[in-house]
Amino acid sequence: MARLLYQGHGSMRLTSDGGTVVYLDPFAGSGYDKPADLILVTHQHYDHNQLDLPARADGCEVIQNMDALKGGVYGKFTVKDMQIEATEAYNENHPKDACVGYLVSVDGLLLYFAGDTARTKQMETLADRRIDYAFLPIDGIYTMKVPEAVRCAELIGAKHTVPVHMKPGELFDAHMAKSFVTDGALVMQPGEERQL
């Protein structure tokens, strides 16, 4: 089964059962030593797009927001054993045409990396997708506040929802994480890796 390392803030490393390695929004924490087959970037703020951090495998692909959203069309991509779909992501600090989230299908699971966002229109359709893990930002400064994130979690209906992007300048905030209370809430600590 796939494994996910939460590096902190909005940074994660996903490894498929077949060994495909994906980094999402590289910036925070450690664990960038596994060579990347794919790097996903949701938008161009410095705390999401440090492309030089991950080691890279030969043929590593990089998909950034400008690749994933062109002319108002959200792209779909296949990289080895993973299927990726770009999704809507926006709020007052993140323009709709310059930000995306990602749905990633791997090892029979569907993961939703929301990116820096508030509630989006597309979230209303995501319950039908039967998402296994959703990763929602909750800092309340650059992204949505906890109550809105809880409402989004309820709308999306993922089996597990992990709060991320909790406090600017910090990998993690225990108080913020504890305040995220909803069915299926799952708190991951920076440096924690889970089998999904």
Task: Note whether residue 193 is domain-resident.
Answer: no
Instruction: With cut-offs at 50, 70 and 90, classify the pLDDT of residue 100.
Output: very high
* Residue range of the domain that includes 78: 3-184
Task: Note whether residue 60 is domain-resident.
Answer: yes
Instruction: With cut-offs at 50, 70 and 90, classify the pLDDT of residue 2.
Output: very high
pLDDT digits (tens, 9 = 90+) for 45-62: 999 999 999 999 999 999
Task: Note whether residue 160 is domain-resident.
Answer: yes
Domain count along the chain: 1
Task: Note whether residue 142 is domain-resident.
Answer: yes
Instruction: With cut-offs at 50, 70 and 90, classify the pLDDT of residue 26.
Output: very high
The pTM (predicted TM-score) of the whole model is 0.97
pLDDT digits (tens, 9 = 90+) for 56-94: 999 999 999 999 999 999 999 999 999 999 999 999 999
- The arithmetic mean of pLDDT across residues 185-189, rounded, is 98
Q: Which three-class secondary structure string do you get for the chain? A: CCEEEEEECCEEEEECCCCCEEEECCCCCCCCCCCEEEEECCCCCCCCCCCCCCCEEEEEEEECHHHHEECCEECEEEECCEEEEEEECCECCECHHHCEEEEEEECCEEEEECCCCCCCCCHHHHHHHCCCEEEEECCCCCCCCHHHHHHHHHHHCCCEEEEECCCCCCCCCHHHHHHCCCCCECCCCCCEEEEC
Task: Note whether residue 192 is domain-resident.
Answer: no
Task: Note whether residue 194 is domain-resident.
Answer: no
- 98: CATH: 3.60.15.10
Q: Return the number of other C-beta atoms located less than 10 Å from residue 63's C-beta.
A: 19
Predicted local distance difference test score (pLDDT) of residue 114: 98
Task: Note whether residue 111 is domain-resident.
Answer: yes
Predicted local distance difference test score (pLDDT) of residue 82: 97
Task: Note whether residue 24 is domain-resident.
Answer: yes
